[in-house]
Structure 1
Amino acid sequence: MDSLFKKRLGEHWIELIKYLKYVFNDFFVIALMFFIGALGFSYSNLLSELKANIWWEKPVIILVILISVFLGGMATLVKKPDRIFVSPMEAKLKKYFRDSFFYSFFMASIVQLVIWFVLLPFISISMNWKMLELVVVLILMLVLKGIILRRKFNQFYNFRITRFSWEFDVIGSLLILSVAVYFNSYLALFLATIWLAKTVFTKNSQVLNWNRLIESEDKRMSVIYRFFSLFKDVPEVSVKEKRRKWLDPIFKFIPQDHHNFYLNLYVRAFVRNGEMSLLYIRLLVIGFVILMFTDNQITSLIIYLLFIYLVGFQIIPFFNHFKGNIFSKVYPVFDSNQQVSFKKMITYLLFSEMVLLLIAMMLANLPILIVGLALLLGIVEIELLINPFLKNKIKKFNLMGE
C-alpha cells in the first residue's frame, strides 16, 4: 500500500500534462503574458503611490491572505471503485493518506509562497514591517493552510454531520489574521499553533467515511476538469442545461418562423448551456476588469483585441453543438440556414463584448482618439473572425463530420 499513492500520483500528473498542453497553447500564453504584464504594471503604479496606515490597506491584506489559504484542497486521488476494492484494507491506508496530506500541503505551500512574495512590498510599505515580521506572516499562512487541510483530513474519519465546518474555518482564520494585522503577528502565530495542535491531536475514528472521501475528490477534480474544458472537450465534464426562466424575454426578440429555426436553437442552447455561457461571461468580466485598470494606450489596445479574438475563438466550436442531434436534421432546413443563424448569434455576442470593453477603456480615462481607434479595429477584427475565419472553420467541421 506504500507505493499506491505514488503510483496514483504519477497517473494523475500524466493526465494533467495531457490536458496542460492544450491549456498552454500559443494564444493562451500570449494572453497570460499580457495579463501578468498589465497586472504587474498596475501593481507597480499602486506601490509607487502607496502610503502607510491608510484605512483600506489592512482589510485588503487580510482578504488576500484569507483567500489564499483556502486555495487548493486535499488531494486524496481516491476513486469510486475503491469503496469496494480497497475498503477491506482500510487499516493499511494510514500511510496512503499521510502521503496525500503532505503532497497537498506541499502544493499549497508553493501557492502561499508565491502570494506572500507578491504581497511583500505591499505589506512592507503599508505596515512598516521588517523582514522578520514578514517571515512570521509567511509561517502564519502555512500554519493556517495546514490547519484547513488537517481539518479536512479529520472529516474523512468522521461520520457525524459537520454543519458550518467551512464557516468555522473562515471565521477562525479571519480572527487570527485580524490579530496579526491589527495587534501582533507573534500572538497570531501562537494562537494558530495552538489551533493546529488541537486539530492534529484530535482523536479520529478508525473507520473511513468513504462517501465523504469520494465526494471530496470528485469536487476537487471537477474544478480542474472544468478549467480544462475551457480549452478542450473533457469527457469527465458533463454539461448541465439550466432553464433560466428569467432570460426568456430574450427569446421574444427572435422571430419564431422557419427561417430562424437554427437561430432559436443556438440562442437557447447558448443561454442554457452553463459551460459556454459562463465561459463568455468569465472572459468578458476578466477583460473588462483588466482594461479598466490599464492606463497604457498600446497595452490596452492589444488586450482589447486579444480578448475579442479569445471569445470568438472559444465560441466558434459551438457551431457543432447540434451535430449529434438527429432531430435537428428532421426539419426541412438547409445547412446554409444553420451557418447564417450561427453567424448572427456570434456577431451579436462579439459586438456586445466590444461595446463593454470600450466602456472599460473609457472608465480607464483613455483618450477618445484611442477609444475611437479601438472601435474601428474591433469592427475590422470581428469582420475577419466572422467571415474568412468562421467560414474556414465551418468547412473543417463539415469535413470532419463526413
Structure 2
Amino acid sequence: MNELFKQRQRDNFSQMSRYLKLVLNDQFTIAIMFLMGGLGYWYAGFLKSLTFAWWEKIIAMVLMIGLLQMGRLATLFKPADKIFLMPQEVNMETYLKQGFWHSMWIAQAIQLIGVTILLPFIQVAFQASIVQSLWLYPTFVVFKSLILYDQMQSYYSKHSLIWLRVVLPLITFALFGVRLDMAWAFVFVVLAAIGRMSVRDKFWQGIFNWQSAIDDETSRQLTIYRFFNLFTDVPKIKGKTRLRAWLNWFFNHIPKNHNNLYTNLYWRGLLRNDEYFGLLIRLTIIGAIVAYFVHNTVITPLILALIVYLIAFQLLPLYERYDDIAFTHLYPVNNKMKRKNFVTVLVRILMILGFIMVIVNAIGEFDLQVVLVTLGLLLVEIYVFCYLIVPKRIKKSKE
C-alpha cells in the first residue's frame, strides 16, 4: 500500500507540474507581482485605518476559521478503487497515513502563508503584541493536524467534523477576544488534541466508507482543476451548456445575418457555456472586490487593467471553439469575417466588465481622478489588446 500511494503521488505531482508550468508563465508571473504589490500597498493603508472596533475581532475570527478549512486530506483515490482495492481494506490505515503526511506538509505550508498575511490584521484587531501573536503559528499547526487526522478517521466512523473545524476554533479564537494570553489558546488546542487522540482507537474499528472517501477526493481535485481552469484549459473540466432563458432578450437583439454568424456563436458560447460563463463571473467578482477596497490614483488603474487583461487572455481559446464543427467550414464565411466577429464580442464583453469594476470602485470611495484614469487606461488596454495583440496571436496560431 505504501508503494501504491507513492506511485500515485508521483503521478499527481507530474500532472500538477504540467499545469503549473502553463499557469506560471512569464506574463502571469509579472501580473501576479503587480497584483501582490498593489494589494500589499492597500493592505498597509487598510491597517492604518482600523479603529479597534468590535467588528474587527469578528472578521479576524472568521478569517482564521476560514483559513483552517484550506488544505484537505489528499487520499488520491480513484472511482475504481472501491472495487479493485476492496481486498486491501484491512491495510487501508497504512495507505491513509501516507495520505495524511502528504497532505499535512501542503496544508501546513498554506497555514504558514495565511497566518503570516493575517498576522498584522490580527495584531491590530486583538490589540496583541508580536510575541502573543506568534503563538498563532503552533496553534494552527496543531489545529490543522488534528483536522486532517479526524477527516482520515471519519471514513471509518460516521461522525461530524464541524465541531473540530468550526466549533472548537471558534471557542479557541474567542479566547483572544477576551484579551487572554494567546499562549493559553495554544495550550487549549493541545489539550483538545490529547483528548481526541486518547479515543482514537475506537474510530479505526468501523467499516471503511469507500464512497465517501472517493467523493471527497474527487471534490478536492475538482477544486484544484477549477483553479487551473481560470488560467488554462483543463480537459478534466467539461463545461455544460445551459439555456439561461433569462438571457434570451439579449440573444434576440443580436443581428441574424451573414455578417454576424460568428457573433451569434461567440456570444452563445460565452454566456451559455459553464466554462466561460463561470470564468467571467469568478474573475469579475475578484476584480470587483479589489476595486471596492483599493483606492489609489496609480495602484487602482494598474490592478484593474491587470484583471481585465487576465480575463481577456482566458477568452482567447473561444476563437477556435467551433473549428471542429464541420458546418462552420462548409458555410461561406471567411476568416476575416470570423476574426472581426470575435474582436467585436471581445471588445464589448471587456468594456462591460471594466465598466462594472469602475462603478464598484466609485461606490467604495468616489474619486473622480481615479475613475477617469482607470477608464482611460482600460480603454487604451482594450483597444491595444483586441485590435493589435489578438490579430497577431490569431495569425501566429494559424502559421
Preserved contact between residue 154 and residue 204 of structure 1 (Cα < 8 Å): yes
Unpaired runs of 5+ residues, structure 2, are none
Partner amino acid, structure 1, of 2:352:
S
RMSD between superposed Cα atoms in Å:
2.7
Q: Distance in 1 between matches of 2:202 and 2:349?
A: 54
Residues 74 and 217 of structure 2 are in contact (CA less than 8 Å); yes or no, is this contact kept in structure 1? Answer: yes
How many pairs are equivalent? 394
Shift of 1:120: 2.4
Q: How far 1:130 sits from its partner (Å)?
A: 4.0
Distance in 2, matches of 1:132 and 1:142, equals 17
Compute the displacement of 1:20 (Å): 0.7
Q: How do 1:1-400 and structure 2 match up within 5 A?
A: 1-52=1-52, 54-131=53-130, 133-158=132-157, 165=160, 167-173=162-168, 175-183=170-178, 184=180, 186=184, 188-189=188-189, 192-193=192-193, 196-197=196-197, 200-205=200-205, 207-363=207-363, 365=365, 367-399=367-399
Please report the TM-score for the alignment, with normalisation by the length of structure 2: 0.88
Change in Cα spacing, 1:194 to 1:62, as seen in structure 2 (3 Å) is farther
Q: Which whole-Å deviations, capped at 9, do the CAs of 1:345-372 have from their partners, x for residues lacking one?
A: 1111011122223324434657534533
CA contact (8 A) 1:66 1:173 kept: no
Q: CA deviation at 1:289?
A: 2.4
After superposing the two structures, state which structure 1 stretch, 273-282 or 80-89, moved more: 80-89
User: Counterpart amino acid of 1:37?
Assistant: G
CA contact (8 A) 2:322 2:328 kept: yes
CA contact (8 A) 1:147 1:199 kept: no
Alignment check: 8 A CA contact 2:150 2:161 kept: no
Query: 1:177 deviation in Å?
Result: 3.8
Q: 1:96 to 1:277 in 2, by over 3 A?
A: same
Once the two structures are superposed, what CA deviation does each residue of 1:159-208 show, in whole Å capped at 9, x if it has no partner? x5x6xx46555542453245323345536536743663367344234542
- The more displaced of 375-384 and 100-109 is 375-384
Distance 1:49 1:311 in 2: 31
Question: Displacement, 1:334?
Answer: 4.0
Q: Secondary structure at the match of 2:237?
A: coil
Q: What is the identity percentage for the equivalent residue pairs of Structure 1 and Structure 2?
A: 31
Matched residues in 1 for 2:199 and 2:347: separation? 55
Show structure 1 runs of 5+ residues with no match.
Answer: none
Q: 1:176·1:192 contact (CA, 8 Å) conserved in 2?
A: no
Give the whole-Å Cα distance in 2 for the aligned partners of 1:151 and 1:330. 59
1:303-343 Cα offsets, whole Å, 9 max, x none, are 23322322222112211111112243454444443323222
Amino acid at match of 1:134: S
Q: 1:190 to 1:101 in 2, by over 3 A?
A: closer
**What is the rounded CA distance, in whole Å, between the counterparts of 2:78 and 2:225 in structure 1?**
15
Rounded Cα–Cα distance in structure 1 between residues aligned with 2:112 and 2:345: 44
Moved more, 96-105 or 140-149: 140-149
Residues 233-267 of structure 1, C-alpha deviations (whole Å, 9 max, x = no match):
22222222222222222212213344433222211
Q: Which amino acid aligns with 2:229?
A: S
Question: One-letter code of the match for 1:59?
Answer: I
- Determine the C-alpha separation between the residues in 2 that align with 1:232 and 1:124: 38
